[in-house]
Amino acid sequence: MCGESAAAIFPTGAGKSLCYQLPGVLFPNLTLVVSPLLSLMKDQLDFLLRNNISAARLDSTLERDEYNEIIGKAIHGELKILMISVERFKNERFRYNLEKMKISLLVIDEAHCISEWGHNFRPEYLKLSDYQKDFGIKQVLLLTATATDQVVADMGKKLRVPRENITITGTYRKNLFLQISPVKEKNKNKYLINRIAESPKEATIVYVTLQKTSEKISNLLCSDGINAHHYHAGMKNEERDIIQNKFMSGSLDCVVATIAFGMGIDKKDIRRVIHYDLPKSIESYSQEIGRSGRDGENSLCEVMANMDSINILENFIYGDTPEKKSIYKLLSHIKNNNGLVLEVKPLSLSNELNIRILPLKTLLVYLDIEGIVKPKYTFFSEYSFKYNFPSIEILEKFEGERQEFVKAIINNSNSKKTWTYVDIQAIQNSYNTDRRRIITALEYFDEKGWIELQSKQAIEVYSIETKSFDIEIVTEKIFNLFKLREDQGIEKIQNMISFFESNSCISRKLSEYFGEILEKENCGHCSFCKSGKAVLEKSLELESLEKISFNEISREFNNAIGDQFSLLNLTKFLCGISVPVFSKLKIKKLNAFGIFEQYPFRDVKNWISEHETGEVRIDI
């Protein structure tokens, strides 16, 4: 409230939302809230609206009239809080409108996403500092529940928040019983049913790793008379909203979910958070158990732990490391580009390079840090509209030069049965104007309701800052950065296993991980304090790879993938890791896809290498 930027590192349920809601009401202008996933903020939005606070969110589910109404309110100062995703900043139409808004505060939710050292780094978050400058936003507020000392320092540095303005309350909560229960894989279903049956009506979240597991386990629980439903990112938005609303109202007792569920949900009486599968990291574990017991009443946080699913967790991490040849190909394209502008269609480039979207964004960020490219803006290659009024009536609303300009737009737009397609290049060729003025005019027509405007095919524009680089050297450097992230991800999983098998109080160890030292040696409300150290077993017996016919298992893949074959692609295929070329060639439908998902990625890779080259490899 003194006009300075700040950060709040509070555990889940400790009041982070209030840190922006109260200033948002008191500040004279708009508070802009950025979240990594807008569906996570539904509960916060509902709370604001129930309390007669003018708030809204912009997402892809909005109809044109709803979108325009929200934008209009934000421009005219009738909105106190507006929630957006970070990707919205790159939207050409949104940026046009954002320049008209007066903004008091930029709030960055899940701010640990800014840091490469965090457990959920998102490359787009690195641009938030630039967006703050671009749109003249003086104050920023960073919010997160999970940040180590290293991540806190990184967040503060990147968004220029002084250390004295960072408030850390600690993670310890005395009402949570932290239970690590060694359970063999074959016994997990029966164990889960028995646990929930102890009090079947208590609000419960069961976390799993895979979407198919969430559906399988929710069906299992329902067949045993438990009021449960699955929830994952593969479901439609409307379907997910229905499940969330039922759980919030109490008409649904149990949700079996991937990590897509829980963030931003303000349900105070969740009595159990059960990890059917292991979480991805200590940070993920802390964040997920923090959703229970927000009312201060005793709640159970249980991990059904064994070592059998470790390889699946690690394989997710290996899937994000691109091949060297893909990095080399992009660098060659930049170096041999005729001009100094790089236009990127993310999905097309992802398919061309065979790099998943998120690692591709990370790659472009690395090239930005390296000084090779710099992101400028995003525009849409296709604009089209439907006439709500005859074109002659629109033309008659203008005079003089402006009428001539509007005539150029109309004359160079091609009308089909329903939609009229704007040829921006043709307009520029026939009338001496720039792209910005054309888009501004179309937006104005849309705001007036004369047309219904839509935009498609986003293209991200980068300036090429230099071509004076050695492709081989930069490829090796960038690849090593990805390998470093890979190693860090694997290390986080190993640290988590050590944490679960701790020789001391689990609550104390968790607090220490986030820089908080408890006065008590033992908390008295964790499984270590009650029954001692947990030992996680590995019960899954995997057939030796040497007994499996390599030729038989690889023949179908080789025929399908053709010249896109590589040792790494075959490894990912057998371990059930999807990459763009698999979707393009429909390779995931082959029988052998994912048959080695339980095996260590490196063991599979070395096994393939031995058969491909005839050489025995210890590691690659």
Q: What domains can be seen in the chain, in order of their start residue?
A: 6-168 (3.40.50.300), 176-308+520-531 (3.40.50.300), 379-462 (no CATH), 545-613 (no CATH)
Q: What is the pLDDT of residues 578-606, one digit of tens each?
A: 889 888 888 888 888 888 888 889 899 99
Total residue length of the chain: 620
8 Å CB contact between 394 and 445:
yes
CB under 8 A, 24+ apart: contacts of 549-558: 550/607, 550/608, 550/611, 551/611, 553/592, 553/595, 554/592, 554/608, 554/611, 556/590, 556/591, 556/592, 557/587, 557/590, 557/592
Distance CA 206, CA 219 (A): 13
* Inter-axis angle of helices 16-26 and 42-50, nearest 10: 40
Q: Give the other-Cβ count within 10 Å of 522's Cβ.
A: 15
Q: Can you give the pTM of this predicted structure?
A: 0.77
Element (H, E) at 168: strand 166-168
Burial of 519 (0-12, 13-18, 19+ CB in 10 A): exposed
Is the four-CA dihedral 94, 98, 104, 106 of positive or negative sign? positive
3-state secondary structure of 301: strand
User: Taking CA 542 as the corner, what is the angle to CA 538 and CA 545, rounded to the nearest 5 degrees?
Assistant: 140
Distance CA 564, CA 572 (A): 13
* Inter-axis angle of helices 567-574 and 550-561, nearest 10: 110
Element (H, E) at 531: helix 527-531
The one-letter amino acid code at 225 reads G
Output DSSP code: residue 526. B
Phi, psi for residue 509 in degrees, rounded to 5: -60, -40
Distance CA 176, CA 524 (A): 11
Which residues, in sequence order, are bridge partners of residue 341?
463
Residue in 39, 33, 15 with CA at minimum distance from that of residue 74: 33
The one-letter amino acid code at 208 reads V
Distances (CA, A) of 36 to 77, 304, 452, 488: 25, 29, 29, 22
Residue numbers of the chain with a pLDDT score lower than 50: 615-620
Residue spans of beta strands (DSSP E) within 359-450: 373-387, 413-415, 420-422
Element (H, E) at 261: none
Distance CA 292, CA 272 (A): 6
Q: What is the pLDDT of residues 331-389, one digit of tens each?
A: 999 999 998 999 999 889 999 999 998 899 889 989 988 999 988 877 888 899 999 99
Q: What is the pLDDT of residues 29-52, one digit of tens each?
A: 999 999 876 656 777 888 899 999
Distances (CA, A) of 430 to 394, 407, 408, 420: 20, 11, 7, 18
Tokens 């450097």 correspond to 477
DSSP for 265-286, written as a single string: ---TT--EEEESS--SSHHHHH
3-state secondary structure of 252: coil
